[in-house]
Structures are given as structure tokens and as C-alpha cells.
Chain A
């Protein structure tokens, strides 16, 4: 079955960087786009963008350009989210989520909590 397993929680200081991984299994990794979704504490879901797992081409939503980078390592079926120059307002749970054969998101990682605090 489709499974997305993300890396563990991170505690970072302002100005630092973090890299979140999302390892896929149970399907052909390069056949489905990978989305990234942010959920700040007590808030709703915010689409950050996606990466074409076949070409490696990323698309970023407004507000997620510059400090946010999506990347892949197809040899290990893994997608990455890197955030640089972390700010307190980046504190959130970050989800990877597969866009399935019906174009809706059909599978989610368990989420990675990134806490930014001095």
C-alpha cells in the first residue's frame, strides 16, 4: 500500500535551516506529483506547492518562494523540503502528500513538526 514516511520533529533556532524528508513506498515514485502542505498550530491547511517527481520541476505557492526549496532523490524514492533562514512563524507541521491518479491528494505523510525558537 502507498506509504509516505517523514523525518522526525525538529527544534531549530531562528536563522537556521531545516531539511524534512518524505520517503515513499508502495507505488512508482516518479509517477505522481508530491505536494507539500503546512499547518501552523491550531490553524488550517495551507498548500505550499509541489514537485513533479518525473522532471524534478518544483512549483511554489505565493509566500513560499525564496526560503523554501523542494527537491528529490529518486534513487531512494524520497522528496525533501528545505527551509532556510527560519523564523518563529515557520513553526508548523509540514506534510508531504501525494497527488493520486484522480489528481486529488490521496495519501499523506504523518507530518513533521518544525519548531523555531530561541
Chain B
């Protein structure tokens, strides 16, 4: 199984500042035949289901604000919120969909400082 490890477990960022979340996979999730990284990012607010933010490691889902961006390849990935807004307070998860079982990171809680 591919193990997904996020860091940090939580972070507090001032409004308007940058938030950065890291996700590391225990093996590469890059599929060489199409050069795509099978890595997604989700946002989950309290009492709500998760919401897809990013797929293919860096492609923003339709309707997602452009302050959210994803980067990385192979085994190391980053979700960046360029200017934190109050509505971004949530838990963020990475997930690999390269192989089964589809594994999630443990989550990173983002709060306002």
C-alpha cells in the first residue's frame, strides 16, 4: 500500500498570508505513460463532506479559487493557499489514486492565527 504522510498536522496562518501543506507518498504516483501524477487534494470543513480542490497534483477543479494551487511530482507534493481567507479554515487531505487501496494522508488542520 502507498502511505501518504502530510506535514504539518496543523498550522495557524494570519489572514492574507500564505499557507503551505506538504504531502509525501511512500512510492511514486507518477504514471510515466501519460506523465500525470495521480494525486488529489481535498478540503473538508466541519460537518461537511470533503470537497475536491486539485487533481493531477496541480489542476484546479472548476470553481475552486485561484489562491489554491498544487505542485510537485513523483513522491513530494505541496498545496499552497496564497492568501488565506477566513473561509479557508478547514482540514486538508491529500489522496493518491495511482493504485488501490486509494490512500489518504492523515489531514492538516488550517486555522487563523
Q: Using a CB–CB distance below 8 Å, which chain A residues touch chain B?
A: 35, 44-47, 49-50, 59, 61-62, 95, 97, 99, 102-111
| Chain A residue with Cβ nearest B52 | A106
State whether A47 touches B49 (Cβ < 8 A): no
State whether B106 touches A103 (Cβ < 8 A): no
Identify the interface centre among B55, B102, B105: most chain A CB within 10 Å of its CB.
Answer: B102
Q: Number of B residues contacting the other chain (C-beta, 8 Å)?
A: 25
Query: Contacts A44-B93, A62-B101 given: A104-B40 contact, CB under 8 Å?
Result: yes
Cα A73 to Cα B93 in complex, Å, equals 31
Rounded to whole Å, the gap between the CB of B98 and the closest CB of chain A is: 9
Q: Report chain A residues within 8 Å CB of B49.
A: 95, 97, 108-111
Cα A106 to Cα B63 in complex, Å, equals 12
Q: Report chain B residues within 8 Å CB of A107.
A: 52
Q: List 18 A-B contacts (CB under 8 A).
A: A35-B102, A45-B42, A45-B44, A45-B93, A47-B101, A47-B103, A61-B100, A62-B101, A102-B55, A102-B56, A102-B59, A103-B55, A105-B40, A105-B42, A105-B97, A106-B52, A107-B52, A108-B50
State whether A45 touches B52 (Cβ < 8 A): no
